[in-house]
Amino acid sequence: MKRRRSLFLHLNQLKQMIKKFALVILFLTALLLMVLNKNNSLILENSIAPATGGVAYVVDVLVIPAKMLGKAYDYVDELQKIKKDNRQLRAENRELKVLQNKYKALEIENKLLAELLNFVPLPEAGFVSARVVAEESNAFTHAMVAYVGDNKVDKGDVVLSDDGVVGRVDKIADKYAKIIMLTDINSKIPVIVEKNRVRGILTGDNTNLPKLIFVPLDAEVNIGDRIVTSGVSGVFPAGLPVGQVVAVSKNEIKVKPFASLSKTEYVKIIKYGVSDIIKQSENEK
């Protein structure tokens, strides 16, 4: 009995020691885990930057083929566009060569006809550039005054802007010239429809859109048709740009001048040598 009791006591003591040792081991294990966790966090933080850099480098390397494919696609697309433009330019070049041949043929034909008809070409016209210093636009007149200085300007000289006919010189006083614009009620210009050579008279009515009158009733005149001088009566040479048809009705045809008359600052007074004819006509009257 004593042995059993002694053995039981020893076993109890051993259990108590194991419990105490287990508590110490658990405490040390917990402490070790805490230390390891902290160290792992520091290791993780220290390794994030290099890892990120490495991943970025890998990504850059993997993207290189994609970039090369994109550039190759753009290059091929640009080549296709160049080929298309090249084909278009070749077609236009062929058309220009055809037109050039036609032009040369017409030039030769025109020269032969001129020789057959004993045609005398018009002399080169001189011109005087003048600045507009005054403008008069109201219900009674549409005119402007230009400073011509000491340049010789005569009544009847044609006045142009960069866009087309402005009018004609009506009076000269000192170093100034009064210009009757083609919208003035006293302006009468012989003109033709450029596409079909239909003749008429462009007359002003003191509005911004002069009228085309004396046109044959069966004449085909449409909106958008270009109007140029006909050269009839000898005052305005043929072919000068005048305006464009903007309204067609049964009773009237309206034309918008090419020249911006209200915004004209400089004009060219063209000298075709018709002033002597005008003076002779006035003397005969």
pLDDT in tens, 259-278: 988 888 999 998 776 555 55
Least confident of 39-53, 60-74, 141-155: 39-53
Residue 133 pLDDT > 90: yes
Residue 16 pLDDT > 70: no
Side chain identity, residue 178: K
Least confident of 14-28, 72-86, 98-112: 14-28
Cβ atoms of 200 and 188 closer than 8 Å: no
Architecture of 129-284 per CATH?
Beta Barrel (2.40)
- Whole-number pLDDT of residue 281: 52
Residue 218 pLDDT > 90: no
Strand blocks (E) in 106-260: 126-137, 142-147, 158-160, 165-173, 176-181, 188-193, 199-203, 211-213, 226-229, 241-248, 253-257
Token look-up 């400073």 returns 147
- Whole-number pLDDT of residue 77: 82
248 burial type by CB count under 10 A (0-12 exposed, 13-18 middle, 19+ buried): middle
- Whole-number pLDDT of residue 18: 58
Top mean pLDDT of 92-101, 124-133, 235-244, 249-258 is at 249-258
Top mean pLDDT of 29-33, 84-88, 241-245 is at 241-245
| d(C-alpha 198, C-alpha 248), whole Å | 15
- Whole-number pLDDT of residue 123: 58
- Whole-number pLDDT of residue 2: 44
Cβ atoms of 245 and 212 closer than 8 Å: yes
Top mean pLDDT of 49-63, 67-81, 224-238 is at 224-238
| d(C-alpha 282, C-alpha 155), whole Å | 11
| d(C-alpha 209, C-alpha 43), whole Å | 89
- Whole-number pLDDT of residue 284: 52
pLDDT greater at residue 18 or residue 245: 245
Residue boundaries of the structural domains of the chain? 40-121, 129-284
The per-residue pLDDT of the chain, averaged, comes to 77
Which pTM was predicted? 0.55
Mean pLDDT, residues 155-184: 92
Cβ atoms of 255 and 243 closer than 8 Å: yes
pLDDT in tens, 236-253: 888 889 999 999 988 899
Token look-up 């009839």 returns 232
Nearest residue to 167 (alpha-carbon basis) of 187, 190, 147: 187
Percent of the chain with pLDDT over 70: 66
